[in-house]
Structure 1
Amino acid sequence: MTRSQVVSSSSQGLPTDTTAVICLADAAAGASPLHPLNAKLRLYLLQQLRAAEDNPAVTSLILTGGGPNFSAGADLTEFASLIPAAATTVPTPSDVGHHHPHAAPSLIDVVTAIEACRKPIVAAIDGVCLGGGCELALACHARVATARARLGLPEVHVGVIPGAGGTQRLPKLVGLRQALPMILQGSTVSAASALRMGLLDAIAPEATADSLRTTARQWAAYGEVLPTIRRTGDLQRPESPAEAHALLHVAELSLPPLGSHGMRAAIQALRASGTPIQHGMRRSPQGRARRHVFFATRRAQKVWSPVSNAVPTAGPPHGLWSKDDAQSAVPVAVVGAGTMGSGIALVLLQAGFHVTLVDVHAPALAKGMEFLKRTLASMVQRRQLKPTQLTALEAKLRATSNLQELSQCLLVVEAVVEKLIVKQSIFATLDKVTPPTALLLSNTSTLDIDAMASAVSSRRRGLFAGWHFFSPAHRMKLVEIVRGSATSDDTTALLQALTKQIGKIGVVVGNCDGFCGNRMLKPYSAETVLLLTETQTTVAAQDYAIRGVYGMALGPFEMADLAGNDVGYNIRVERQWARRARDDPLPPNRPARYTELPDVMISDYGRLGQKVGKGWYDYDSNIGKGRKPLPSSEMDALIRRYLAPKPSPALVAAEIIERVLYPLINEGFKCLEESIVRQPSDIDVVYVYGYGWPVWRGGPMYAADHEIGLPRLLRTLRELSKQFPTTEHYVPSALLVECVARKVTVEEYYQKNYHTASTGSAMLSKL
């Protein structure tokens, strides 16, 4: 067993026995001293455990780090790829690691095997014992440490929860009162504190490897003479059910309303710690989806390079990307003082830039500045800003109606109305006014980036891109970084860095109508409106199905009212789908299945959404701060005007979900097929952070793979395509058809690089 050898142990009158020492450092000599629990180490642990159990000469075991640390936890680079594994069985060495990386034993397999071992196992802890390392120790039958050891479950700091039994074993061992801070706050404890709370059984007299080993041998010998092995998972949580409920309820009430998904999931898991370990350790599909989103977000933000993973060599222009105080001197501008432009200005201001807000219309400019000042003042009232910080921010903010005053700006974001000719005119002026190295960016949600770039000189086009924020810009996390055909790699990499610097999540996408998010939203929005006119399904029923049943943050009509129904109307006008007046001729580009209902509600009724107090719903400023959707008799009457003579019966929630979400997912496959995004998980990031897709469902492509199933998705789309033969968004994607034919998920399709043979060259040219 190399250093993990069978050693003799006898002291202080204890019976002589043999103890196997399993040393984490032996799995990979010379590797990290933190002993990350990667696939190789997990397999090694199972092999050594099985050998010790099968050896009749071994009567107990010691698990040690064999160096300055026990283990700092899971290997994050592998975490996302683990598949569900049964928590009650242990793979044999011949079962794992030979066919697919997913076949490696999970950490749950390892801790389950440790706890179930027929011979007592003692964790000998030195240095850090964190995350998965702490979960290893919790699964052992006793724990001893040096005085310098520190133990903790810091997973909350990276947006996940302890996934290998920490939420179950720690409360059983030390109680909820002491477990809650370690799990919800990620706090670590010293050896002395761990001993007092019952997490440790003993501290070695000296902080040396020999003293630690001697103490561990003593406890291993104690374990041999006990009538039964003390397994943490078999313990009863010390609190009564009523006390545990109160503790967890108070903990949940104390969580912030935003950004606490992981902590809420941890509380849900902690509730199960009062049940048998087999119940609490079930690996929830929701937990796997959350972990998928976490690692998908990391992958999406990886620095752009279409040929390799190298960081582009050319430096960013004029210190736009800076980590020091020089950042505060960088001048930037936002053109357009509407809701979106003002929100972007606020984001840039809070990131430390000198911001000029521009609008040729004086009332709009005044309104935008008033929004900025009011929002900053409210942040002081909520103690999110100090008064001195408010003064400093206001000193960095200015307004103008003259584009000529932007001659020193190193970055300009255009956020005006969605009309190509207006945007082109603005960029033609900016090209002449701003420094030659300034970035020119458009916040357009649908329009052609290349068409806008054509308005600037050829030398500037490499610095031109889309920077698509989501409404409201100062609250929504997502930004689509849109590459035009001339956008340089350095510009893309710089925008990724800037997006992260301003606290947003950036996803690189290609140039097409709607890019990724809004392109996929187009069939979703179209189908929800068509259901109003072709069936007896109501606005409220659809919102309930998508929000209340499926779990989206908002229903389709609630989302439209919040974003502004005029945004979609202007896009339809620009696409030549909508008529500006009733007596205008029918536009030639209009889809075969189309209803003028949403156009008329704008052009004739002015129902723009929440901002004017009426949209698909009515809004009362005295109820719910003007944000609570209320039934609208006016809209009910308007919908009846456009209802088909013989509408189909109202759809149930499951049917609504299929009719509106399946074409959205299908469009995601088409985005992949055309290389608009680099990988399926990028689409999931876009929809979780930009459109309120429930994180516990993992995103559209994850749901297609793991919730719906690609064969079912394809079969349903084919049925709907037969029912509506003129509707393009029901025609199945060729990529979906190929995945089903190969019997792989779309995630596996990309992991196995099937896409490179047919679309690799397209990806390099488009992205």
Structure 2
Amino acid sequence: ADIKEFRSDMTGPPLVPMIDRLELSSKPVVAAIEGVALGGGLELALGCHYRVAHSKSRLGLPEVTLGLLPGAGGTQRLPRLVGIPAALELITTGRHVTAAEALQLGLVDFVTDHNTIEAAVKLALSVAGKSLDSRRISTCKCPRPPDADALFEEAMQRVRRSARGAIAPVACVQAVHAAATLPFARGMEQEKQLMATLFTSDKINYSCEIQAVADVDLVIEAVFEDMVVKKTVFRQLSAICKPGTFLFTNTSGLDIDELAAQTQNPELVRWMEFGFAMGVFRMSDLSGLDIGWKVRKAKEMVSKTHQDCRYSPLGDLLCERGRFGQKTGRGWYQYDKPGGRVAKSDPWLHSFLEKYRAQRGFVARRIDHQEVLERCLYALINEGFRILEDRIASGPEDIDVIYVLGYSWPRHRGGPMFYAQMVGLSRILEKLEYYHQLHLDIPSLQPCSLLRKLVANGSPPIHKWVEVIKNPHSHL
């Protein structure tokens, strides 16, 4: 299928009438499927009386991934052929299936490893003269299991939960429901109406002009991490946007109050962090190591520490050797070509790190799993106490909710602050003090004063921690 056709007048015969003509043919029509039969290609095959697929072919109705639904009878014929559960799964996810799975589902009649056309011709000759009534899918009744209503309710809940506001998966469920409850012709009308709704629904617009956000309800700022630049943007947004527009910043460390002060309505300024789409080293390769290098040079970050943070020159050393990440084909990883996307481990980097350690007298040691766990999680918990101490969060439950829902912290562990209570605050403090003495140049391992205060107060239960904090109310 050529999705560019959606933007222009389509040429050739309309697909729906053509499929109907094929299905009504008095002679057997056999679809020979090679490569892929996706979208309209599969809908065309569903209008044929028989389907023969090569073993390496793939089939599917991926329209939902484009914000649409199969609009040439796919939502009406597929449930009649393979049943409601399979049709719901395939149509609402857009998943492709192999020829073997298609055969198992009943989507195709025969799979071959040899010449597909020859196999299709052979099948056509073998059924010539036989009745085709049972092979016309549109005339078949959709098999409706006893729990059909529950199936549709479950499917609707699933897509609303997973799609998070997308309307195409919901429309797909509604279209399949029409196949299960309406005659074919009326189901096709329902499919057509749903397709029209999706096709004319709101679309993402883009612009290079800041005036384009004048009438929006929410703006997310994601410009370069520089206070002067961000201040300028917020002043512009405040002057351009309509009253009541929320202004979000994704800054990682700049003062939000200072940004909010640039606007006419500082109470509408909020913080929203986006991150962890991939590991930090892969992300660094993607954005370009030279970007951070230039920032560090501009800030004259040449000492061992900067603003109480340990500073490693490794990234700078890679840049000095022309390793800027994906753009040069070499960075923390190696790529098959400049601009490549597939990251591979680079033997050169391992050799470079060995020489770096040897020159500076660093001795590599094996770190056991328990130490890795404690140094990572206890440092995270320590930062959580700093957040509470700085009144960025109003209570430990806020931090736990964010980590459970936003960072996939195991639900049965309750979140990092709840986990700290399970482990015991005194043990957390003891281990942090131990690791901090071993690594004085890592500030995140220095126990937070609030943690010390809680331990000194007998490690009260988590719901009483805020009583130890003088003012538990959030700054945000």
What is the TM-score normalised by the length of structure 2? 0.52
Q: Give 3-state SS (helix, strand or coil) of 2:315's partner.
A: helix
Q: How does 1:93-492 map to 2 (within 5 A)?
A: 387-388=195-196, 390-393=198-201, 395-456=202-263, 459-470=264-275, 472=277
Q: Give 3-state SS (helix, strand or coil) of 1:468's partner.
A: coil
Within 1, Cα distance between the matches of 2:220 and 2:447? 37
Matched, 1:743 2:463: no
Matched, 1:597 2:314: yes
* 2:31 alignment counterpart: none
Q: Residues 427-484 of structure 1: CA distance to partner in whole angstroms, max 9, x if unpaired?
A: 222222222332222222332212222332xx32222222334455xxxxxxxxxxxx
Amino acid paired to 2:207: T
* 1:10 alignment counterpart: none
On the 8 A contact 2:304/2:310 being kept in 1, the answer is no
Give 1:663 shift.
1.5
Q: Please tell me the root mean square deviation across aligned C-alpha atoms, in Å.
A: 4.6
Q: Give 3-state SS (helix, strand or coil) of 2:471's partner.
A: helix
Give 1:671 shift.
1.0
Q: How does 1:579-594 map to 2 (within 5 A)?
A: 579=297, 586=303, 589-591=306-308, 593-594=310-311
On the 8 A contact 1:739/1:746 being kept in 2, the answer is no
Q: 1:660 to 1:410 in 2, by over 3 A?
A: closer
Within 2, Cα distance between the matches of 1:703 and 1:390? 45
Matched, 1:734 2:457: no
Q: Residues 99-139 of structure 1: CA distance to partner in whole angstroms, max 9, x if unpaired?
A: xxxxxxxxxxxxxxxxxxxxxxxxxxxxxxxxxxxxxxxxx
Within 1, Cα distance between the matches of 2:403 and 2:347? 32
Give 1:735 shift.
2.0
Within 2, Cα distance between the matches of 1:568 and 1:679? 37
Q: 1:469 to 1:748 in 2, by over 3 A?
A: same
Q: Residues 49-101 of structure 1: CA distance to partner in whole angstroms, max 9, x if unpaired?
A: xxxxxxxxxxxxxxxxxxxxxxxxxxxxxxxxxxxxxxxxxxxxxxxxxxxxx
Matched, 1:677 2:416: no
Q: Residues 570-590 of structure 1: CA distance to partner in whole angstroms, max 9, x if unpaired?
A: 99779x7x3369x98559835
Within 2, Cα distance between the matches of 1:654 and 1:259? 36
Q: Give 3-state SS (helix, strand or coil) of 2:370's partner.
A: helix
Q: Residues 166-224 of structure 1: CA distance to partner in whole angstroms, max 9, x if unpaired?
A: xxxxxxxxxxxxxxx9xx99x99xxxxxxxxxxxxxxxxxxxxxxxxxxxxxxxxxxxx
Amino acid paired to 1:446: G
Give 1:677 shift.
0.8
Amino acid paired to 1:463: L
Give 1:402 shift.
1.3
Amino acid paired to 1:454: A
The match for 2:349 among 622, 631, 635 is 635
On the 8 A contact 1:680/1:701 being kept in 2, the answer is yes
What is the TM-score normalised by the length of structure 1? 0.34
Give 1:740 shift.
2.2
Within 1, Cα distance between the matches of 2:317 and 2:298? 9
* 1:536 alignment counterpart: none
Q: 1:638 to 1:674 in 2, by over 3 A?
A: same
* 1:755 alignment counterpart: 468
Within 1, Cα distance between the matches of 2:413 and 2:335? 31
Q: How does 1:82-93 map to 2 (within 5 A)?
A: none
On the 8 A contact 2:260/2:267 being kept in 1, the answer is no
Within 2, Cα distance between the matches of 1:661 and 1:719? 15
Q: 1:561 to 1:673 in 2, by over 3 A?
A: same
Matched, 1:714 2:434: no
Give 1:602 shift.
5.6
Q: Residues 265-321 of structure 1: CA distance to partner in whole angstroms, max 9, x if unpaired?
A: xxxxxxxxxxxxxxxxxxxxxxxxxxxxxxxxxxxxxxxxxxxxxxxxxxxxxxxxx
Amino acid paired to 1:579: K
* 2:279 alignment counterpart: 559
* 1:660 alignment counterpart: 376
The answer for unaligned runs of 5 or more in structure 1 is 1-180, 189-255, 261-345, 353-375, 473-557
Give 1:715 shift.
0.9
Give 1:691 shift.
3.1
Q: Give 3-state SS (helix, strand or coil) of 2:205's partner.
A: strand
On the 8 A contact 1:569/1:602 being kept in 2, the answer is yes
Matched, 1:704 2:420: yes
The answer for unaligned runs of 5 or more in structure 2 is 1-146, 177-190
Give 1:666 shift.
0.9
* 1:150 alignment counterpart: none
Q: How does 1:24-43 map to 2 (within 5 A)?
A: none
Amino acid paired to 2:371: E
Within 1, Cα distance between the matches of 2:378 and 2:160? 28
On the 8 A contact 1:597/1:638 being kept in 2, the answer is no
On the 8 A contact 1:608/1:615 being kept in 2, the answer is yes
Percent identical across equivalent pairs? 28
Within 2, Cα distance between the matches of 1:559 and 1:604? 23
Give 1:731 shift.
1.6
* 2:107 alignment counterpart: none
Amino acid paired to 1:659: R
Q: 1:604 to 1:438 in 2, by over 3 A?
A: farther
Q: Residues 477-536 of structure 1: CA distance to partner in whole angstroms, max 9, x if unpaired?
A: xxxxxxxxxxxxxxxxxxxxxxxxxxxxxxxxxxxxxxxxxxxxxxxxxxxxxxxxxxxx
Aligned length: 302
Amino acid paired to 1:468: E
Within 1, Cα distance between the matches of 2:203 and 2:335? 36
* 1:540 alignment counterpart: none
On the 8 A contact 1:418/1:570 being kept in 2, the answer is no
Amino acid paired to 1:447: L
